[in-house]
Amino acid sequence: MRALISVTDKTGIEDLAKGLSDLGVEIVSTGGTYKKIKESGVEAIEIDEITNFPEILEGRVKTLSPYVHGGILYKRDEDSHVATVKEHNIKPIDIVVVNLYEFQKALEKGNPEDIIENIDIGGPSMVRSAAKNHKDVLIVTDPDDYDELLERIKNDDLDLSYRQNLAMKAYNLTAFYDSVIARYFSELTGEEGKYKTYGFEKESELRYGENPGQEAALYNDPFVKGLMENMEVIHGKEMSYNNYNDLNPALELAQELGENAVVALKHQSPCGVAQRQSVYESYIKAYECDSQSIFGGIVSVNGIVDEKTAEEMNKIFLEIIAARDFTDEALEVLTQKKNVRLVKINFDNQTVKEEIRYLNGKVLIQGKDFGEDEVEIVTDKKPTEAEIKDLLFAQKVVKYVKSNAIVVAKDMQTLGCGAGQQSRIWALESIKDHFKDRDFTGAAMGSDAFFPFPDTVELAHEMGISSIIQPGGSIKDQDSIDKCNEYEMSMVFGKSRHFKH
């Protein structure tokens, strides 16, 4: 048997080369890999002895040769193929061990010339050739598979199932690799082609999905340095599917609001949000919004959790507390509970620009719903500066509340989040009915979409709400505006609708 070894990631390569050599496998290698193998004391043949041609163009051309691909691709059980390689003195290559140039690392460094030079050509070509002819050629692209390869060769256990599994991993790698390159050029040009390519790298298996009967895993998008990039779970149980799913909107909202924002969230919808001068005050106000729903929920803190805040948090059960950081004193308090997950997050990371939803055989992709601060005053009464701040705050929060959604806020604190109602007025009624004793006088109200009828304005007036933000767009907008004028309430139109289904 003959093996061609050409790898960028040289993890375990000396042991593999020695193991193959001990099993009587002849080794052909290239460049730095050849040097590494020779330094380990294992005999190898340099690639240009096979191709009868030196590496050229700074290494861009070294394995693109019929003496390489012919030796990989010919069918061992096809007489015409056997005759052809014999005629041209092409020797068989039975094992191909290849991994690819580090394009992602070059991308992170950002040097355009280096990025282009790290687009591998020969590597993917050999991988694809060997994977195509997997019936006759073993293709190994993952250092984790080296030990099994040696064991199977030793035991002559190289059945078709094993070969197909290696081919699957090979095409998995080249598809992922090409997807990252395609996205690079899409970002570079600002254009989209006919095909939308994403490549995700598995980070970990999860115990189960949304429910125990569903399998799940966590994947990383190497192209996006998002909020969860390098997140660190510093205490508590392993994160679950639902933990990740719920944590994401809590982080996004805390990031959008900015410094000292605290978001309490339950089942993907905020239940209490506040932004005050300190993390402690923000947490207290977020908790006060809905002290019942926050129990067993998630708290995201765009700031540092101190001891005083930790003591308040420790009074109830929370699934996750995610923050920029925790003081040592806060950790002493919070780690007393073994089940709470404490997570450190870098809120300075970028947020994603697209959202993906996989349907039953179709995929929906949309741009991210980013906020804006421009408003149009449409009523006789103008909102005060304080009301404008609360209106914009309510508008940012309502984007993260399931539609139909209403958020009532005052002094940069939510007083109620009405979520997931089939009728818009029901969303406001749920706030009124749930918090019967709450004083909503002078509060601001945000709606994720327009009012088809003035009834929501009427109920808001009854509750004492003084100002409203909504996107407008109804043929009956004027009815709601007139009702606000009648009640001497202010109303502003935002630029966008903010449905979240």
Number of residues that make up the chain: 501
Choose the catalytic residue: 132, 196, 308, 389.
132
Give the ranges where 139-206 is alpha helix by DSSP (H).
146-154, 160-189
Cβ within 8 Å of residue 462, ≥6 positions away? none
Cβ within 8 Å of residue 274, ≥6 positions away? 261, 262, 281, 282, 283, 284, 285, 286, 289, 412, 413, 414
pLDDT at 104: 87
DSSP output for 45-57: EEHHHHHTS--BT
pLDDT at 350: 83
Separation of alpha carbons 326 and 307, rounded Å:
8
- Of 390, 370, 385, 400, residue with least CA distance to 469: 390
* Token pair recorded at residue 220: 């990383």
pLDDT at 229: 86
pLDDT at 495: 83
CB burial of residue 152 (10 Å; 0-12, 13-18, 19+): middle
Choose the catalytic residue: 91, 196, 267, 337.
267
Clarify whether 501 is annotated catalytic.
no
Separation of alpha carbons 251 and 46, rounded Å:
52
Separation of alpha carbons 325 and 455, rounded Å:
45
pLDDT at 182: 92
Separation of alpha carbons 318 and 500, rounded Å:
25
Separation of alpha carbons 17 and 27, rounded Å:
8
398-402: list long-range contacts, CB under 8 Å, 24+ apart.
Answer: 398/446, 398/447, 398/448, 398/498, 399/253, 399/369, 399/371, 399/448, 399/498, 399/500, 400/249, 400/252, 400/253, 400/269, 400/270, 400/500, 401/269, 401/270, 401/448, 401/500, 402/268, 402/269, 402/500, 402/501
CA distances from 309 to 158, 245, 285, 326 (A): 60, 25, 12, 10
pTM of the model: 0.86
C-alpha count within 13 angstroms, C-beta hemisphere, residue 50: 27
pLDDT at 205: 94
CA distances from 359 to 176, 196, 365 (A): 22, 16, 11
pLDDT at 57: 76
Clarify whether 267 is annotated catalytic.
yes
pLDDT tens per residue across all 501 residues of the chain? 999 999 999 999 999 999 999 999 999 998 889 999 999 999 999 988 888 777 777 777 777 788 899 999 999 898 999 899 899 989 999 999 999 988 888 888 888 888 898 888 889 999 999 999 999 999 999 999 999 999 999 999 999 999 999 999 999 999 999 999 998 998 889 888 888 888 999 999 999 999 999 999 999 988 888 899 889 999 999 999 999 999 999 999 999 999 999 999 998 899 999 999 999 999 999 999 999 999 999 999 999 999 999 999 999 999 999 999 999 999 999 999 999 999 999 999 888 888 888 899 898 988 888 877 788 999 999 999 999 999 999 999 999 998 889 999 999 999 999 988 888 899 999 999 999 999 999 999 999 889 899 999 999 999 999 999 999 989 999 999 999 999 999 999 988 877 777
